[in-house]
Amino acid sequence: MDIDLTKMSKEQELLLAEFQRSGLSADEFIQKYLAEKGIANPDEAVKEIDLTLSEIDRHYAGIKKAKEQGKDRKSYLRDVCNSVLGNADSKKAGLAVATVTNALEGKDSPESALEYDGIEAASLISDLDKAIENSTLAMLSGEDAQNE
């Protein structure tokens, strides 16, 4: 595993060293760690973490494939939304995308939104893409401020 130790906190370095000495698998170590922290059902938590990471891997693979095909993030978002919302009512689908966008922007859920169809869908995806980018930048700048 390639890890840049210059970007790790002291606590993370100690945890990594403990993991390396333990001889446990990653799942076993996380389960033990969660149990020590008092988490109820650490085995269920590990399963949920594994599921989440596999979803991230799946979407990362999709983004990577889209880039290899010359597509950008918006195209990939559109593909994902079409896959998930393609058979839904266009008004409800539009409201769902707008709700996620507003949540990323820290706004209340909208009472109405554009329909997820044609040009309106492209506009909703564009807004979602901007919200994801701004949310990610805000998280990164917040982390940078904490690390200084």
Q: Which domain holds residue 53?
A: 25-71
Same domain, 60 and 87: no
Q: Which residues of the chain have pLDDT under 70?
A: 1-8, 138-148
What count of other Cβ atoms lies within 10 Å of the Cβ of residue 94?
A: 23
| pTM for the structure as a whole | 0.51
Same domain, 35 and 85: no
pLDDT for residue 148: 41
pLDDT for residue 4: 59
pLDDT for residue 50: 82
Same domain, 82 and 66: no
Same domain, 49 and 102: no
> Dihedral sign, CA of 47, 50, 54, 56?
positive
Q: Name the phi and psi angles at 114, rounded to 5.
A: -65, 155
Q: Is 26 in contact with 33 (CB distance < 8 Å)?
A: no
pLDDT for residue 142: 60
Residue 130 to residue 125: CA distance in whole angstroms: 9
What tokens were used for 137?
């930048």
